[in-house]
Amino acid sequence: MKAELVSGKMGGWCWYGANTFKKTDSVGKFMTFVQEDISNEMQELILKAIKQDVTPLVKHTNPDTLASNPYVRDGSLAVIWYSTDEEKALKGLAKFLIVHGLVPKTKAGKYYNISFKYDEQTRNGEYGEEFKPAISLKDLMDLNSGEFY
C-alpha cells in the first residue's frame, strides 16, 4: 500500500476522496473484501473510481491496525464504496465493482448478492441478523448473467 495515496487515516480506516454528499442524500455503501493487504492495484482502482465520479468516497480497513481490530477475520480487509441510493449512481458503482472483478462469484458462476447498506442502518446498529437490506445487487442486475436492468 502506498501511504501517500491515502487522503487520511481515522478510526481504523484509510480514507480516499472527500465526503461531498448532501445532508438530504440517502447515503450507503457496498462492501467488498481483499485478503491480507491493500495492493497498489486496489489503491489505483479506488482512485480511478473517484476520478471517474463513480464514487466520491472510499475507505478500507487500515492494515496497520489489523492486530488490534476485533472485526478482522482471516486476514480479510473491508473496502467500503459509498454511494447515494439514486438508481444511476448505484448502478454506476455496481457496474464498476463487477467490471473490475470485485464482486465474487459462487461455485456455480453466479454473482454474490451483496447488499447496499444505508449509513442510517449502520448508525442504528443493524448488523448480522438485525440487518435487512432494502437494496441488493439482485435489484440492479441478473446475478447469473451479469446483465444490468
The arrangement of strands across the sheet holding 57-61 comes to 8-10, 13-17, 57-61, 76-84, 27-35, 115-118, 135-136
First to last CA, the chain: 36
Q: Is residue 75 part of a domain?
A: yes
Weakly modelled stretches of the chain, pLDDT under 70? 70-73
Radius of gyration of the chain (CA): 15
Residue 61 domain boundaries: 3-139
pLDDT of residue 48: 97
Q: Is residue 59 part of a domain?
A: yes
Q: What pTM does this model have? A: 0.90
- CATH code assigned at 106: 3.30.760
Q: Is residue 149 part of a domain?
A: no
Q: Is residue 146 part of a domain?
A: no
pLDDT of residue 37: 82
Q: Is residue 111 part of a domain?
A: yes
Q: Is residue 126 part of a domain?
A: yes
pLDDT of residue 86: 96
Three-class SS of 102-133: CCCECCCCCECCCEEEEHHHHHCCCCHHHCCC
Q: Is residue 91 part of a domain?
A: yes
**Could you tell me the sign of the dihedral formed by the alpha carbons of 112, 117, 121, 122, in that order?**
positive
Interacting residues of 13 by C-beta distance below 8 A, sequence separation 6+ = 59, 60, 61, 62, 80
What cell does 132 get? 435487512
Total count of domains within the chain:
1
Q: Is residue 34 part of a domain?
A: yes
pLDDT of residue 71: 67
